[in-house]
Structure formats: C-alpha cells, structure tokens
Amino acid sequence: MPVLLPPALERSLDLLRCPTCRTHQLHPDRGALRCPVGHTFDIARHGYAGLLTGTRATSGDDTAMVQARDRFLATGAYDPVRGAVARLAAGAASERGTVLDVGCGTGYYLAGVLDQLSAARGLGLDTSVWALRSAARAHDRAAAAAWDAFRPFPLADGVADVVLNVFAPRNPEEFHRVLRPTGRLVVVRPTGRHLVELRRRLPGMVTVDRSKETRLHRALAPFFEAVATEPVEYPIVLTRTEARDLVAMTPSARHVSETDLDDADRLPDRLTVSVLATAYRPRR
C-alpha cells in the first residue's frame, strides 16, 4: 500500500524544489514525491519526506540521543527558551506565514512557534531519521524532510518568513536565499554559563568555545544584521534521570563515561540554563 501524503507535507509542496535538478516542483505520486524529469523521493511511513539521497550525511542524532531529547524537553525545562524563540519569530511572521526550522530535531521549537501563529505552516529539516519521526508528528501544521544543512536547500528562493536555527548547524548563505526580504532568522546558541555545573563535574562534556560569538558574527555578517537579542538565563532543578537525559541528548553523550554518569556526586541537581536568542534581518 502506498504511503499517504501527510496533510502538512502536502501544504508544503509549493516550497520544495527537486533536490537533484533544483528547478522543478515536486508532486505526489504513489507514495513518493516526483519531479517532472522523473527524480523520485520516498515519503517515509513515519510521515517525513526522504529528500536526502546519494552521499550519506556525516552528522545527525542517533536514536538514543533523540529519545533522551524527547524525554528531556517534555519536562518543560527548556520552555523559557522556546518562549523566547516564539516571541522573536511571531514578531516577523504573519498568522499565515511559513516557518522553516533547520536542524529541527524533534520539532519542539517549530511546534512552539506554530502554536503562536494560528494559520502558519512549518517545515523542519534534519539529517536524523530518528529526529524526523518525531518532527513529522510535532504539530499538525509542521512537515518534516530529511536534508543536510550544509548542502543547498531543496527549497525555492524567498519562501520563508522565519528560519529557526536552535543549537544546530548553520548555512548562512542558504538561510538568506530562502528567506523573504522582510523575514527573520532566529538563532539560539549557548553562552559560556550554559550548564556550567555539568561541565565542571563531567570531564567528557563538550565545552562552549570562547570564540563562538565572534565566529557566529563573522559567519552571519555578510548576509544578516542583528535586530533583537533576548538573553535567557535561569536555574533548573533536575532529577538524576533528567540530568542523564540532558547529557545523553547532546554530542557529549559520546564522550562522557557511564561510570561518571552513574556516580551520583557527579550529576548536579541544580543547573544554569543560559542562552542567547537573536533575530536577524537579511541584508540586501
């Protein structure tokens, strides 16, 4: 039986361009998406479009990381971060706008933005099929597609009112190409104080590079200028299981030893969340 075209994906078809020939629109055809030249892409039975074919992506969260992220985000510990993203995005998109989330993970932030915009549609891109399974179910107006942020996006020019980029890989040139001239890019990244208590106690935790802000500015400056920044900093209190999930959902999961995670003294129960959320306007 061919896979049915999910309604949110159907509503996103006009945004998409064939990833192979890069010019034609894609049309549904017996459980797949096809361009007029004949390039064909599966619609996974989990509801996302499998646009990433050929060369395998080099990065992307595995199933354990995605499950940990799903559980951790469900605790509400990052709701204030999601609130800041939604405020910055809602200022830029109309109620019927289009929101693209690059490196969308489970779709948690995309869903938060769509909740604030009663008729907007969303599209999440990610390399991780495990994340895309969740993202395709995150909101009834959110579609999801497999794509590598470092390759030219399978999207038409100037189609997005908002591009979200939350703790995820960036492609400033492509963000600029797919945004409307009046659109906004919303970037969230950690400050040096983010989860500092964990990093002090767990030797394998990935540190926040001191030059991160400078590098971000250098990468975005040719394409974007910042219009508003919301610093978001607050304490959270976690159970041991929640703290384990917080480690397990990040790339640190590959570097922190099980012994350290099992050591009750090493997992602090009070942590600082500290991020910057910035809205950028495209330069013309």
Ligand X SMILES: C[S@@+](CC[C@H](N)C(=O)[O-])C[C@H]1O[C@@H](n2cnc3c(N)ncnc32)[C@H](O)[C@@H]1O
Distances (CA, A) of 9 to 48, 90, 136: 8, 22, 9
Least separation in angstroms between CB 177 and ligand X:
16
- Given a contact cutoff of 8 angstroms between Cβ atoms, the answer to whether 34 and 5 are in contact is no
- The residue number whose beta carbon is nearest to ligand X equals 105
Least separation in angstroms between CB 37 and ligand X:
25
Q: How far is CA 85 from the centre of its chain?
A: 12
Least separation in angstroms between CB 280 and ligand X:
17
Least separation in angstroms between CB 163 and ligand X:
12
CA nearest neighbour of 137 among 7, 16, 10, 14: 7
Distances (CA, A) of 111 to 12, 75, 89, 170, 283: 15, 16, 12, 20, 27
To which H or E segment does residue 175 belong? helix 172-178
State which residue, 43 or 166, has the beta carbon closest to ligand X.
Answer: 166
State which residue, 128 or 274, has the beta carbon closest to ligand X.
Answer: 128
Distances (CA, A) of 104 to 66, 90, 168: 11, 17, 8
State which residue, 159 or 186, has the beta carbon closest to ligand X.
Answer: 186
CA nearest neighbour of 217 among 270, 170, 184: 170
State which residue, 167 or 223, has the beta carbon closest to ligand X.
Answer: 167
Least separation in angstroms between CB 13 and ligand X:
21
State which residue, 68 or 93, has the beta carbon closest to ligand X.
Answer: 68
Least separation in angstroms between CB 156 and ligand X:
19
CA nearest neighbour of 45 among 31, 29, 62, 27: 31
In the block, tokens 């767990």 appear at 202
Residues that bind ligand X (CB under 6 A): 57, 59-61, 69, 103-106, 108-109, 126-128, 131, 148-150, 166-169
State which residue, 52 or 261, has the beta carbon closest to ligand X.
Answer: 52
State which residue, 58 or 259, has the beta carbon closest to ligand X.
Answer: 58
Question: How would you classify the pairing of strands 32-34 and 160-166?
Answer: unpaired
The full length of the chain comes to 284
Q: Which alpha helices (DSSP H) does 18-141 contain, by range?
A: 63-74, 79-90, 108-116, 129-135
3-state secondary structure of 156: coil
Least separation in angstroms between CB 238 and ligand X:
17
**Beta carbons within 8 Å of 241's beta carbon, 6+ residues apart:** none
Least separation in angstroms between CB 239 and ligand X:
20
State which residue, 105 or 183, has the beta carbon closest to ligand X.
Answer: 105
